[in-house]
Chains A and B, each alone.
Chain A
Amino acid sequence: MRITQGCFSFLPDLTDDQIRSQVQYCIDKGWAVNIEFTDDPHPRNTFWDMWGLPMFDIKDAGAVMLELNACRKAYGERCYIRVSGFDSSHGWESVRISFLVSRPKEEPGFRLLRQEGDGRTFRYAVQSYAADRPEGQRYQA
């Protein structure tokens, strides 16, 4: 399967040039750019691990691409990596854009657990197959 989180998951995987163009868009808007990675892509996993602090005062997307490449080197094989733009202006103070820039070769996807309740009701739970394995050992052959 292919996880379709983020802004551009229905497009072919972004090239570095394409990523740079979107990062530059964030910078031009005055947003802080953040690189995050995880091996638990559950749709409710909000807090991915941060690759350093959000980059607040950069002018050029090249700096972000350097950091992204370093992150890829460390985690690219075994994690999802996303880039997000954070807008601190009043009334928003949250993420403005978020998109995946790297994903593991194999994406095992999710199982749906159903716990039958009274009548015909169910309690549903979505679980990542990868998360069956311990942290750090997921997505490895």
Chain B
Amino acid sequence: MNVIEKSLKAPRSRYSAGVMEYRNMGYWQPDYEPKDTDIIACFRVTPQDGVDPIEASAAVAGESSTATWTVVWTDRLTACEKYRAKCYRVDPVPNAPGSYFAFIAYDLDLFEPGSIANLSASIIGNVFGFKPLKALRLEDMRLPVAYVKTFQGPATGIVVERERLDKFGRPLLGATVKPKLGLSGRNYGRVVYEALKGGLDFTKDDENINSQPFMHWRDRFLHCMEAVKRAEAATGEVKGTYLNVTAATMEDMYERAEFAKELGSVIVMIDLVIGYTAIQSMAKWARRNDMILHLHRAGHSTYTRQKTHGVSFRVIAKWMRLAGVDHIHAGTVVGKLEGDPNTTRGYYDICREDLNPQQLEHGLFFDQHWASLNKLMPVASGGIHAGQMHQLLDFLGEDVVLQFGGGTIGHPMGIAAGATANRVALEAMIFARNCGRDTLAEGQRILEEAARNCTPLKQALDTWKDVTFNYASTDTPDFVPTATAAE
């Protein structure tokens, strides 16, 4: 009989006062088979030197569920075996000595339905500062259908967003207004008008455009909506601009969102830094008011970028799909911001698929069923330009917003020309792909052909032809196809 069985079957010794190893308190159960309704988390655990990986992983299970540092008799007033998180598997991380993937199952009853705040307070609330660990990272989570169904999900979803915008068959095009700080409302609106009239579908406030001395929020909203509506009349297309309603309080955010609605905007925007509860509140507001909700992932790199410590962005993406945003920045692969191609593919699948099969090379540790929860449009933004259109389409697919900020506004012939260059490049690439051409191999030629009828595209290709951002990624999946257990 092993130690656990002994301890579980001998409550007297299990609950006598004092300190006991977590693994012996029921938080390590290698024989446990997770139930369909369990939430499962995969952590990357890096124990302090000399700390046993199993004990460290059991401690993570304990500290993220029922345990405290010492035995408490009050456990016996509860169905404590049900409420204990169970670490059931610990594997060494391939090519990373000293780190382990720990798989921990949590009973559904540990969580409040429909609350990301509660989920995150449980899973990442306390354990990340635990002294016996050097570092800890939440890599992925399996969210059972029973739990997924307690969330609203994206307010609009990809399909209804497309229907509402009357835009099908190609990625949407956007641009962030630049310079991101300092423009007056009137000048800001000028950029919006030029970009939308030139051919973009969306323009966007940047994450830190809220209500500053150079441009207060009402002035921005008024000028932006004048620009949007003028562009609609000039093109006959539905246009939008992500009005950032991020503010100090919920009351302020609701006030700004209501004003955006009153002026006829189709979309509003929030920043990740407003917090999970505020995000869920805004998602409900957006659903009630037929508004598309754009989320900028401001701040995420402080905890998503390093492999050893923090929370993987794939987990944040899953939480945001549950929380109910319609757009999320999810990487570009080819642009200026961090993004390993395989890892980024994993994020995009989380946003757009109804079933994510386990795919370790994409960083997906579990099968994830979304149970028809609305799909969420990933946004590719940061250092991309028309000359990369074939790669963007190949890596990111069709249901994505491609945001060319500098790649629109920095065009030598002006903003509208920049927008036209991007739109022509995109339509030409989609057309060629649908005709069966190998766009990845022939991309440059397809763009050059399209540029023959479009001077702005030719100028864009000439201006940015050599711009690439080839740096090694800091966040890549670590996996071997057949992982082996540590014990």
Inside 8 A of B483's CB, which chain A residues have their CB?
none
Q: Is the CB of A99 within 8 A of B169?
A: yes
Chain B 192-243 residues near chain A, CB threshold 8 A: 199, 218, 222, 225-226, 229-230, 232-238
Count of B residues near A, CB < 8 Å?
40
Q: Knowing A5-B166, A12-B453, A120-B222 touch, does A126 contact B424 (C-beta < 8 A)?
A: no
Instruction: Find chain B residues with CB under 8 A from A41 CB.
Output: 236
A110 and B424 within 8 A (CB): no
Chain A residues near B424 (CB-CB < 8 A): 10-11
Q: Which residues of A contact B430 (CB under 8 A)?
A: 7-8
Chain A residues contacting B6 (CB-CB under 8 Å) are none
Contact between chains at B168 and A11 (CB < 8 Å) = no
How near does chain B come to A79, taking the closest CB pair, in angstroms? 14
Q: How far is the CA of A81 from the CA of B428 in the complex (A)?
A: 21
From the candidates A11, A18, A43, name the one contacting B166 in the complex (CB within 8 A): A43
Most buried by A among B162, B169, B226: B169
Measured CB to CB, the nearest residue on chain B to A80 is B236
Q: Is the CB of B168 within 8 A of A84?
A: yes
Contact of B169 with A96 in the complex, beta carbons under 8 Å: yes
Per-residue CB contact flags for chain A residues 50-89 toward chain B (1 = under 8 Å, else 0) read 0000000000000000000000000000000000110000
Rounded to whole Å, the gap between the CB of A139 and the closest CB of chain B is 14
Chain B positions within 8 Å of A18 at CB level: 431
**Contact of A124 with B168 in the complex, beta carbons under 8 Å:** no
Contact yes or no, A91 B431, CB < 8 A: no
Q: Does A132 contact B (CB under 8 A)?
A: no
Please report which residues of chain B, range 120-167, place their CB below 8 angstroms from some CB of chain A when the two chains form the complex.
Answer: 159, 162-163, 166
User: Which of B166, B375, B420, B423 has the most chain A CB atoms closer than 10 A to its own CB?
Assistant: B166
With both chains docked as a complex, state the minimum distance between the C-beta of B187 and any C-beta of chain A, in angstroms: 17
Please indicate which of the listed interface residues A18, A42, A98, A124 has the most CB atoms of chain B within 10 Å of its own CB.
Answer: A124
Tell me the complex Cα distance, A119–B169, Å: 40
| B170 contacts the other chain (CB 8 A) | yes
Number of A residues, CB within 8 Å of B? 40
Q: A21-B435, A94-B163, A97-B168 are in contact. Are A122 and B225 (CB under 8 A)?
A: yes
A contact residues around B428 at 8 Å (CB): 11
Q: A141 — which chain B residues lie within 8 A by C-beta?
A: none
- CB <8 Å contact, A121 and B354: no
Closest to B230 in A: A112
Q: Report chain A residues within 8 Å CB of B233.
A: 109-112, 126
Please name all residues of chain B whose beta carbon is closer than 8 Å to the beta carbon of A8 when the two chains form the complex: 427, 430-431
* Complex alpha-carbon distance, A87 and B159, angstroms: 11
B236 and A110 within 8 A (CB): yes
Q: Considering the chains assembled together, what is the distance between the CA atoms of A41 and B166 in angstroms?
A: 12
Of A25, A92, A120, A123, the residue contacting B434 (CB under 8 A) is: A25
From residue B448, how far is it (CB to closest CB) to chain A in Å? 15
CB pair A43–B162 under 8 Å, yes or no, is no
Q: Separation in Å of the A132 CB from the closest CB of chain B?
A: 14
In the complex, chain A residues whose CB is within 8 Å of the CB of B232: 43, 110, 112, 126
Establish whether residues B434 and A22, one from each chain, have CB atoms under 8 Å apart when the complex forms: yes
**Do A94 and B162 have beta carbons less than 8 Å apart?**
yes
Complex CA distance for A5 and B450, rounded to whole angstroms:
19
A sample of 8 cross-chain residue pairs with beta-carbon separation below 8 angstroms, ordered by A number, consists of A5-B166, A7-B169, A7-B427, A9-B427, A11-B450, A25-B436, A43-B232, A126-B233
**A residues adjacent to B (C-beta < 8 A):** 1, 3-5, 7-12, 18, 21-22, 25, 41-44, 46, 84-85, 91-99, 109-112, 120-124, 126
| 3 closest residue pairs by CB, A with B | A97-B169, A3-B236, A25-B434
